[in-house]
Structure 1
């Protein structure tokens, strides 16, 4: 399966065929070779997966750092209203989504290990900038620019997923990709939890502590990648692959579905704390003047809950991938969207009740807001795992129809197309997070000053996603197997 040349400190496991230890470089990697996989290949893949998760985890944390920073920004001091804060956290989401395209083929160009080191170290830029400007308040425009740099963390997902996709065999991709993505996604609740600890112990006046913690974690991720990860010589995903993969209609459908799953996860992750803070503050003020003490208390209450949703959504992602390995990605995705429709309905009903009582019911209705969002987080995580399982399954099946190619060439083509679509779907899906924050901003800027309109938009979109999944991946499945039902002829 493998010829390991140049593996340095990360020595290949005993029994890996043809292994030679020198400098972190692996040639002729074939994860589908069962004998070689069991002889040592799976240990190599697991080692790379572990440090890929660590680096991606830190990337997600920095990407979502402004979802925490806004809890440290009372309007009296910073002059930024809720609508402005929703736009502020949308900026890194947008930048991260765009960066996922070049990051997708960066591992093929520079090597998975090399790019992981670089993509970790570059996170020092947004972290240092955030630390400085939170200690030295500046203009809203300055914060928008600094938040844009945090988007660097959003690109890490695409390169990490493309790299791990190349390391694992088809039979284990759902679990491996789900674990890699889920471990990365947990970076969102972890930074929110760190923010909670700071607010609970020091108050909402010391955001620089959060940044300082991540300066250390960035260094750990970069050093770990340098010591324990490898470059593969047969990763071929590049700009041309991304153009080729767009010829398939499945690529567009998968990207659309990923807007509904990952777009929901990242969008709610960035917005959940703010929504809670707004509602807690409304309950504390009860129509009266807002005081700094109320701001601090609302921030603490919001931080105590906000991390739970992203945490559960991250943990459910590998479970969604595992279910998809067994049942089929199409079915799990369909069930997920149906459940998300009902969960969004809870938010719609709760918000409409609040509107009808002019906010008087905010305190008593908070439990329904929390339940609705927690369900959406868990379901979006399951859907993330199932949609990404569909990608390699689709192209593995299509590769068998390629005439004149050997089995090895078909596997390489499938791996290349899957890697390209992972990046494209990740980028387009992240744009869903931008949309969620912009829709919430518009909703809170309206006459009602509530999120009811936004919740209705989310519910309708989930209906469209469920209908698309059924029409494209299930309606014509007939008697096909679980794996086959993920494939549609283009």
Structure 2
């Protein structure tokens, strides 16, 4: 996506801003900041509810007792397919903002959340076939796309010096939609209500979010899709390397958010109320700590924080395996919550790495100043959509791994061992690509001694 100040081209229908230049200090202070903050607030609201609807089935499966006729394997397959759709739709949602306008697409995407919510309300009763539940569950995946379009939209409203704060707040506010729906479910279960009551709570909230977006948000006329940047980003190996690392962080966060309650029910025999009473804690802490990961990356370097974070995730996974084999619920739950916190830290540190990597590549190409900044913004912005989509696929793998593990061994131990191997790969990749000293580090000295000019080694250790 790219934005530029443009002259007015005449009045359009709807709330269109024809001139937008947040980098202009005077414009920002007099007009831009107030408008940007207003759009951020309502964008967060819509994205927040989108996350809640996306993870809706992580809660609904807790209500679905033996009378529904579904096995644990059926439930894990259901949640994995919801995660898959949410990951895939992030790609078109990224480009929809430029096609329809940020305000218009927020209204459309918020309104679309009614489809899976109303459909679930209609079919949520014993006797409904698994194939029907699966089809309705797939519809909930649209909630996963709201993150991509919301981040793209808010990115256009804020100047470069404020983007980190704005995007962090937007992402964190959206992620908190996961624990919030789990808390609401806990209240509903505690009050003796059923899944239809939970769905009935969210239907009016979706209508309110769509109406407020229509009344209070704006479109920016100068936002355009930069298809060339998307192609360049897709060709760059760092886009796919960072996607692998994001599978390990955000993929773990969203995958565990779907699976935590089911694991407690299936492996430890927890009731829906007992499971719901603790499942919200991990996603809540993981969401709140995401900005801390970014701050630590600012200070110590994203690659370093990411490396040590994956090492800590591996250690927490080992603790989960040991506690699970011993049948110790309290240590198992505590280790799971710690793992959630680490996924949040990793989300912040990995996303912080992306603009730094492409800025370093710009410098290596001989660019400097604004030219280097523009190159970095163009490629990092385009790559974030792809990285976000691929990273969310990690949630699919987590739920499928749990499904297979419980089908074959009756516990989640096999799945956790697989996740441990993934974190080991992420540690190795982070070190080998971004922290390992180049093998040719001695070459500059040798070339200098021979009177030649050495080519500087490209380092990503500080990104």
TM-score class normalised by the smaller sequence:
0.7 to 0.9
- 1:364-411: CA deviations, max 9, x gaps? x1111111111111111111122122223333454567789994x766
Query: Which of the numbers 168, 176, 188 marks the counterpart of 1:186?
Result: 176
Kindly state the Cα deviation for residue 25 of structure 1 after the two structures are TM-superposed: 2.5
- Residue pair 1:63, 1:96 contacting (<8 A) in 2 also: yes
2:84 is aligned to 94
Change (3 A) 1:44 1:402: farther
1:274 is aligned to 262
Specify the SS of the correspondent of 1:234. coil
Change (3 A) 1:255 1:146: same
2:71 is aligned to 81
Query: Which of the numbers 119, 132, 153 marks the counterpart of 2:143?
Result: 153
- Residue pair 1:71, 1:299 contacting (<8 A) in 2 also: yes
Specify the SS of the correspondent of 2:271. helix
- Residue pair 1:272, 1:306 contacting (<8 A) in 2 also: yes
Query: Which of the numbers 234, 237, 243 marks the counterpart of 1:246?
Result: 234
- Residue pair 2:48, 2:173 contacting (<8 A) in 1 also: yes
Specify the SS of the correspondent of 1:275. helix
1:304 is aligned to 277
Kindly state the Cα deviation for residue 412 of structure 1 after the two structures are TM-superposed: 5.6
- Which piece of structure 1 moves more, 330-339 or 388-397? 388-397
Q: Which runs of 5+ in 2 are unaligned?
A: 442-455
- Residue pair 1:101, 1:424 contacting (<8 A) in 2 also: yes
- Which piece of structure 1 moves more, 32-41 or 47-56? 32-41
Query: Which of the numbers 25, 33, 51 marks the counterpart of 2:16?
Result: 25
Change (3 A) 1:468 1:416: same
1:385 aligned to 2:348?
yes
Specify the SS of the correspondent of 1:162. helix
2:403 is aligned to 441
Question: What is the CA–CA distance in structure 1 between the aligned matches of 2:259 and 2:10, rounded to whole Å?
Answer: 43
Question: What is the CA–CA distance in structure 2 between the aligned matches of 1:22 and 1:102, rounded to whole Å?
Answer: 24
- 1:334-385: CA deviations, max 9, x gaps? 22212111111111111222xxxxxxxx3xx111111111111111111112
Kindly state the Cα deviation for residue 177 of structure 1 after the two structures are TM-superposed: 2.0
Kindly state the Cα deviation for residue 101 of structure 1 after the two structures are TM-superposed: 0.9
Specify the SS of the correspondent of 2:70. coil
1:371 aligned to 2:328?
no
- Residue pair 2:267, 2:412 contacting (<8 A) in 1 also: no
Kindly state the Cα deviation for residue 172 of structure 1 after the two structures are TM-superposed: 3.4
- Residue pair 2:68, 2:126 contacting (<8 A) in 1 also: no
1:52 is aligned to 43
- Residue pair 2:293, 2:344 contacting (<8 A) in 1 also: yes
Kindly state the Cα deviation for residue 67 of structure 1 after the two structures are TM-superposed: 0.4
5 Å-filtered alignment, 1:321-360, equals 321-353=294-326
Question: What is the CA–CA distance in structure 1 between the aligned matches of 2:162 and 2:434, rounded to whole Å?
Answer: 21
- Residue pair 1:105, 1:420 contacting (<8 A) in 2 also: no
Query: Which of the numbers 112, 124, 130 marks the counterpart of 1:140?
Result: 130
Question: What is the CA–CA distance in structure 2 between the aligned matches of 1:389 and 1:47, rounded to whole Å?
Answer: 25
Kindly state the Cα deviation for residue 155 of structure 1 after the two structures are TM-superposed: 0.8
Kindly state the Cα deviation for residue 325 of structure 1 after the two structures are TM-superposed: 3.3
Query: Which of the numbers 168, 185, 190 marks the counterpart of 1:195?
Result: 185
- Residue pair 2:355, 2:377 contacting (<8 A) in 1 also: yes
Query: Which of the numbers 320, 334, 357 marks the counterpart of 2:293?
Result: 320
2:244 is aligned to 256
Question: What is the CA–CA distance in structure 1 between the aligned matches of 2:46 and 2:186, rounded to whole Å?
Answer: 22
Question: What is the CA–CA distance in structure 1 between the aligned matches of 2:18 and 2:298, rounded to whole Å?
Answer: 28
Aligned length: 442
- Residue pair 1:67, 1:89 contacting (<8 A) in 2 also: yes
- Residue pair 2:5, 2:222 contacting (<8 A) in 1 also: no
1:464 aligned to 2:421?
no
Kindly state the Cα deviation for residue 34 of structure 1 after the two structures are TM-superposed: 4.2
- Residue pair 1:280, 1:301 contacting (<8 A) in 2 also: no
Change (3 A) 1:322 1:170: farther
1:292 is aligned to none
Question: What is the CA–CA distance in structure 1 between the aligned matches of 2:437 and 2:164, rounded to whole Å?
Answer: 23
| TM-score between both structures, scaled by the size of structure 2 | 0.88
Q: Which runs of 5+ in 1 are unaligned?
A: 9-20, 282-296, 354-361
Kindly state the Cα deviation for residue 421 of structure 1 after the two structures are TM-superposed: 1.5
Question: What is the CA–CA distance in structure 2 between the aligned matches of 1:121 and 1:373, rounded to whole Å?
Answer: 34
| TM-score between both structures, scaled by the size of structure 1 | 0.83
- 1:3-28: CA deviations, max 9, x gaps? 796999xxxxxxxxxxxx99532345
Kindly state the Cα deviation for residue 110 of structure 1 after the two structures are TM-superposed: 1.4
